[in-house]
Amino acid sequence: MIPDYLAEALGDVASDTSGAPADYIPELATADPDLLGAAFATVDGEVYGAGDLDVELTIQSISKPFVYALALADRGFDAVLAKVGVEPSGEAFNEISLERGSGRPLNPMINAGAITTHSLAGSQELDAGARLERVVAGLSAFAGRRLEIDDGVCASELENAHRNLAIAHMLRSHGILDEDPTAAVAGYTRQCSLLVTVRDLALMAATLANRGVNPRTGERVVPERAVRQVLSVMSTCGMYDAAGDWATQVGIPAKSGVAGGLIGALPGQIGIATYSPRLDSHGTSVRGVSLFERFSSDMGMHLM
């Protein structure tokens, strides 16, 4: 029944060919724009889906809430909040958006905040390689399988990472980053280049919905308190300068990525994921937004 419902929903949005795959990372522009998939993963560990469920895409900004959770778990709330705020920026994901005076990024969902939370994953003594391994292992635990990096997408983004490098240099000048900005951006870009399927994304979201325990493996990935913080920030900041539209029209904590993935987590119920590479002006999947609007309305998922 659920796969039939999902297949029908995918069929209804398939005619919308507006938007375009991201091209500021040249490798992403080569994605087949017609790919389309959706999956639901319940907190009992059931996964239902339709469409292109097993095609791999890079996780991109959908990694941000999960790495924020790892940083909170590894360094504690006070240390993370000292470096990254929790206020919506109302600006695009790649704006500088630092708090006046302190130089703290406004939140961990924008690039400035996410480059910082990448630097806060794992214990303080770790070198960049061990820290990246902590991030890969942590995101893999959310997904319930070992995730791999797409080296081609990563290299393509790094060749064009002038904006993230500029942000990282600003963060270094404010003492928010206390390492080489180039190393921080390299690690963050590798994090964004992890390959996932829409099925993985639904399970990662379901691990948030299940308050930090992967519903398939039973592993507690992060503490419940960290998940509450992450879901709160996803609901206020996860959709950047479209956060208000999303809150009113969909009403589910969510996160988008420029490869075309989109996740939402309904606490205590399900994780939802969609994949379609054509993006709107906010860097969010056009058909993904339509699908989430439909799911929310059909199933009364709006939390407010």
Which residue in 43, 47, 48, 61 is the catalytic one? 61
Helix or strand holding residue 50 (H, E)? strand 47-51
Q: Is the distance from CB of 48 to CB of 3 less than 8 angstroms?
A: yes
- What is the sign, positive or negative, of the torsion defined by CA atoms of 52, 267, 104, 125? negative
DSSP-derived secondary structure letter, 29? G
Residue 18 annotated among the catalytic residues of the structure: no
Check whether 123 is labelled as a binding-site residue.
no
Residue 61 binding ligand DON, by CB under 6 A: yes
Residue 4, classified by CB atoms within 10 Å of its CB into exposed (0-12), middle (13-18) or buried (19+), is: exposed
| Residue 89 touching ligand DON (CB under 6 A) | no
Stretches 137-145, 199-207, 253-261, 290-298: which one binds ligand DON (CB under 6 A)? Answer: 253-261
Query: If binding is defined by CB under 6 A, does position 60 make contact with ligand DON?
Result: yes
Letters for 153-172 (x = contact with ligand DON by CB under 6 A, - = none) are ----x------x--------
| Closest approach of ligand DON to the CB of residue 124, in Å | 24
Active site residue 43: no
Judged by beta carbon, residue 43 or residue 205, the one nearer ligand DON is 205
> Is there a contact between 169 and 161 (Cβ–Cβ < 8 Å)?
no
Which of 283, 300, 282, 296 lies closest to 250, judged by CA? 296
Rounded least distance, CB 155 to ligand DON, Å: 13
Which x/- pattern over 177-216 shows residues binding ligand DON (rule: CB under 6 A)? ---------------x------------------------
Q: Is 224 annotated as a binding residue?
A: no
188 is in an annotated binding site: yes
Give the residue among 88, 93, 229, 113 at the shortest CA–CA distance from 176: 113
- Residue 246 neighbours by CB distance under 10 Å: 24
The radius of gyration of the chain's CA atoms, rounded to the nearest angstrom, is 18
Catalytic residue among 97, 135, 140, 188: 188
Annotation-wise, does 43 bind a ligand?
no
Asked about 61 being catalytic, the answer comes back as yes
Provide, rounded to whole angstroms, the least separation between the CB of residue 177 and ligand DON.
15
Q: Does 256 bind ligand DON (CB under 6 A)?
A: yes
Nearer to ligand DON, 9 or 289 (CB): 289
Nearer to ligand DON, 9 or 112 (CB): 112
Residues 6+ apart with CB under 8 A from 100: none
Query: Binding site annotation covers 240?
Result: yes
Residue 157 marked in a binding site: yes
Neighbours of 155 (CB within 10 A): 12
Cβ closer to ligand DON: 116 or 256? 256
Contacts for 50 with CB less than 8 Å, ≥ 6 apart:
3, 4, 6, 7, 9, 10, 37, 38, 39
Q: Is 164 annotated as a binding residue?
A: yes
Closest CA to 65 of 296, 213, 281, 257: 257
Q: Identity (one letter) of the amino acid at 54?
A: D
Q: Which residues bind ligand DON (CB under 6 A)?
A: 60-61, 93-94, 111, 157, 164, 192, 256-258, 283-284
Residues contributing to the annotated binding site for substrate: 61, 111, 157, 164, 188, 240, 258
- Just list the catalytic residues: 61, 64, 188, 240, 258
